[in-house]
Amino acid sequence: MSLVVVKYGGAVSEGAAAGILELAREHDVCVVHGAGPQITAEMERRGLPVTFVGGRRVTSSAALEVVRGALAAVNAQLCAAIGPRALAVPDGVLEATPVPPLGFVGDPLPSAPPFVVDALELGLIPVVAPLARGPLNVNGDEAAAALAVGLGADRIIFVTDVPGVLVAGDVAAAIGADEAERLVGIGAFEGGIVPKLLAAARAARGGVPAEIGVTAVTA
């Protein structure tokens, strides 16, 4: 069967199980999830600064503790909702290059972790939190793209709470990687769509067709 990598953000992970199981009827599925809203809420509760640079969260040692806890909670909830086919993937199976100016943060590298490959071969649905070896906090969209390229996936889907990529006020049916990066570079987008677009462009260039809502991102 073809392999689909699906990325869910923390804001849309609730209720994700039905969509995942529907996909899994016809495809092998690997899930990558975030926990952004949960992490931010807990950091604010603890009085920790919340700062992003290029879509990546500046992560101190105290923030890393929050990140790990929130991701573990979302992972457990998502696995429980998916059911017996779900398999939680341990922290540290992803590979990343450290980005010291941002703290405990990594730039993910394409990889095919044996744990994930073995799970897929057994017909299971690996559920991956974006924590790389170190541990290093990795942007979930970037982690999903790197994993899709490393696994040689047939498609990557970024599930979000918007219908697609808005270009000139309309939802685009498709956008090329070069155009996506150009528009990001001139500040045409802001917020969570920025890392998704850049990750989708990276996946497309790596040979994996990408979708953000109804918008296809092509090489």
Entry pTM: 0.94
Q: At what angle do helices 140-151 and 114-121 cross, to 10 degrees?
A: 70
Could you give the domains of the chain?
A: 3-218 (3.40.1160.10)
Residue type at position 155: R
Residue-by-residue pLDDT tens, the chain, 219 positions: 899 999 998 776 667 899 999 999 999 999 999 999 999 999 999 999 999 987 889 999 999 999 999 999 999 999 999 999 999 999 889 999 999 999 999 999 999 999 999 999 999 999 999 999 999 999 999 999 999 999 999 999 999 888 889 888 889 999 999 999 999 999 998 888 899 999 999 999 999 999 998 899 998
Closest CA to 21 of 64, 85, 109: 85
Q: Rounded to whole angstroms, what are the CA distances from 15 to 6, 19, 78, 106, 193?
A: 14, 8, 9, 29, 21
CA-to-CA distance for 172 and 165, rounded, in angstroms? 6
CB atoms within 10 A of CB 197: 27
Q: Buried b vs exposed e over 103-136: b needs ≥16 C-beta within 10 Å?
A: bbbbbbebbebeebeebbeeebbbbbbbbbebbb
